Structure 1
Amino acid sequence: MSKTLNGLFDPFFPIMQLNEFLKNEAINAMNRILAHPISTKFRIPITPENAPEHYFEKVKNPTDLNTIKTKIQDGRISTIQQWFEEMDHVWGNIELFYGKESPFSIAANEIKRLFNKERKKLVGMTIGTWCGHVYEMRTVITDLMNQPPSKVKQFADTLGAARSMKPNQQVMNERELQSFIKATEMMTSEEDQKELIKIITEQQPDLDCGNSELFIDVSKLNRNTVKIIKDYIKESLEKNGKKYPEF
């Protein structure tokens, strides 16, 4: 199987609550998926009345796109991870019951592809915000160590070594991260995909790109790797009369 960049730059992040902003983004994402013609067979709840024979003997977590959207709206799905898991059931159930090569599974894989595009956008928003909070916290802690309150100045010798510490700067802020992820999505040719994987492998060999579709933690890319990737993408886009996306 050839390597692809589908999902390659999706970062990994901790449990993330669906606040009002993220909740609305998730609902909008579901609406876009539901609007696609391929979603027709996955919009209606599966019940004993309309389910194929023996369906519930195999499938223990039946679900559909409209039910997932409703759960997001009424709060039964309260984290991004819960949303991801529910969506996994959509194509997982189809594959379990009909088999990987069935027409239903092929259609379900298209839903999965559409969802992965939406997921990358949302993950870009959340990881950018999360990294920003971490950076702000590190800055506050470092400032306190460099200028401790009077009551803890007696421990100044202990803190002396820490005063030379500098907080790790963000490789990208939230807007830059969204632009970066959007730009990688524009690299659709096999040549571009291989080149980006080559850059990561050469610059950071500890980040294993493997031989199949993977998710790489964007926060693990160092500043130099990001710069080389961005320069390559900009040059590639310019050759095709396009510009690097800016948010």
Structure 2
Amino acid sequence: MLLAEITDMHLMDGGVPAYGTIDTRAYLERAIATIAALTPQPDALLVAGDISEDGTPGSYALFREMVAPLGMPVYVIPGNHDAREPMRAAFAQDGYMPVAGPLDYAVDLGALTLVALDTLEEGEPYGTFSAGQCDWLGGTLATLSGKPAIVMLHHPPFPTGAKMDEIGCRDGDAIGAVIAEFNNVEIVLAGHFHRSMHRSWAGTMANICSSTAHQIGLDLAHRPGFKVFMEPPQIQLLHWQDGAGLSVHQVPVGAFECVHESG
């Protein structure tokens, strides 16, 4: 099984540039082209939040229109820039969104199960996850009876050591305590950070995917403010092999010249 992952597209209604200067639509087009050129094609696309910059129905309609040519299932969660009810309405036709409450859900992908968590605290940059949601997460993982699972959420529930921890998931320890009870969570996927990062956490792997557009400068000194850079964006590929487990590959977005080929 091969899964593609993208995050933090920050689309605007009508595809206008985010913050007036960043053509997030064009950057997403390049990411989609990179996915479309893959051999073999992924079985599904995972989207770790912040599809939208402005939370408008038009931004979600634009996203759906842009990814439709890939012809693969698309599974999304909300980020801090998203709006829960417009997102629910935009993806209701796909059949996996709950009809009310947080946008937490689980879907059977065959060899793996995707467990998606809604950490959106609307109006705030940080994330939250209630005690009731933790109960749902534990019950969902228990029903899998050891089948391998991927947990995906927007706000990193684990410390990164960087300034972005200030607006991470405030209930990360509670999420980690649930995940640590199970040995079938292969990886925890997050976005929000706008750069790639990996660590061990709660007895498993934890990973942050880069944005398809702009990246946040790495700041381990926690200086005031945030700096945005147009560093090369990436997508992620999650490759599951029976008997070998899960591997994660970062793939730079764009077309690159092959300068040598052997064999």
Q: Is TM more than 0.5 here?
A: no
Greater strand percent: which structure? Answer: 2
Structure with higher Rg: it is 1
TM-score, length-scaled by structure 2: 0.22
TM-score (norm 1): 0.23
**Which structure shows the bigger proportion of residues in helix conformation?**
1
Q: Larger relative contact order (C-alpha < 8 A, sep ≥ 6)?
A: 1
